[in-house]
Amino acid sequence: MMRVFMITLIVIYQVTFSAGQETVDFEDFGIGIDSFLNGSEADGSFVSKSITLPNNYNGEFDSWIGWSISSITDNTTPGFGNQYSAITGVGFDNSQNYAVSFEFGENKIKLNDDGNTIDGFYVTNNTYAYLSMKDGDAFAKKFGGETGNDPDFFLMTIRGYNDGEQQADSINFYLADYRFEDNSDDYLIADWTYIDVSVLGEVDSIGLSLSSSDNGQFGMNTPAYFCVDQIVTSTGMTTPVQEPVLSTLIDIYPNPTADKIFITQDVEDKIQLLLYSQTGQLIYELDARQYSEMNLEDLKSGTYYLRIKASTSQMTKMIIKK
């Protein structure tokens, strides 16, 4: 049976990377500030460290599908002419370069080496798509409509593949979600947000596809763009870890749970536990001791996110309440 993991938490957190992991940040592409590579000088793909991003460039129309590499900083100009820009105006952590996806169907992130896997990546909205959803344009509606009550959404679905075959699990991440009863909960992603895709298991590629509530005769009206940076891959290396990874020092159980979760930890410093709903609402906050517990009995069944903060690192754990 196919399982779908719903991820809508709007929280940016620092990820602790261990030995055996590699981060693809696109800074190895030699482009200056406010420049882009759209495939006109590529051979059908962009290769950076352990990953490949497919690209299909059409020289007759100077158009492309797939991926481009960008350092564009203009995050205020609306329209198709600003298709290479991230709404952040910079890459993750104020870096220069990032990748832009334009897709019809599904775009892939492919691993170059057998035995590697993709752990996660940062994503944000493209400026063209963001401003189109925020204000509307000649082709697409303003999300929420004039009253703000229209239940609009812009959804990224992430699937894992091995040898070309789709794996059972998938992840849904909302780049925009206006379906809430309270309009103040509606949101457009405007920051770099980390998506943990390790739940997909060992895959040699992931596919990213988009869907929207705004559709017309020729398909989706919302511009089919988003931006990606800092793709984290596992290399399978076994070099010693100089400092224990936070996830190896903390045990959370049972998960799924019907009432309580218990937390045991072996972190020298005090840690803080923050439980969030799918909409990013802080529900529970606790300064954890060596052994702690959270009572979730009164919460509705569903998915929650437990953010664990230590002095030098942070992590987020998905909690399922039955």
pLDDT in tens, 142-196: 999 999 999 999 999 999 998 889 987 788 889 999 998 889 889 999 999 888 8
Number of Cα atoms under 13 Å in the Cβ half of residue 141 = 18
Q: Look at domain 246-321 and name its CATH class.
A: mainly beta
User: Is the pLDDT reported for residue 288 higher than 60?
Assistant: yes
Give the residue-averaged pLDDT of 118-146: 96
User: Is the pLDDT reported for residue 218 higher than 70?
Assistant: yes
Quote the pLDDT of residue 278: 61
Peptide bond between residue 223 and the one before it cis (omega within 30 degrees of 0): no
Alpha helices (H) in 108-222, listed in sequence order: 127-135
219 or 202, which is more confident: 219
- The domain limits of the chain are 4-234, 246-321
**115-124, 267-276, 292-301, 309-318: segment of lowest average pLDDT:** 309-318
Q: How confident is the model at residue 200 (pLDDT cuts 50, 70, 90)?
A: confident
User: Is the pLDDT reported for residue 5 higher than 60?
Assistant: no
User: Is the pLDDT reported for residue 214 higher than 50?
Assistant: yes
User: Is the pLDDT reported for residue 242 higher than 50?
Assistant: no
Whether 102 and 224 have beta carbons less than 8 Å apart is answered as yes
pTM of the model: 0.74
Whether 250 and 16 have beta carbons less than 8 Å apart is answered as no
Under CATH, domain 4-234 is a member of which superfamily?
Answer: Protein of unknown function DUF4465 (2.60.120.1350)
258 or 282, which is more confident: 258
> Beta-carbon neighbour count of residue 36 at 10 Å?
17
User: Is the pLDDT reported for residue 22 higher than 50?
Assistant: yes
Give the residue-averaged pLDDT of 124-149: 97
Which DSSP symbol is given to 141? P
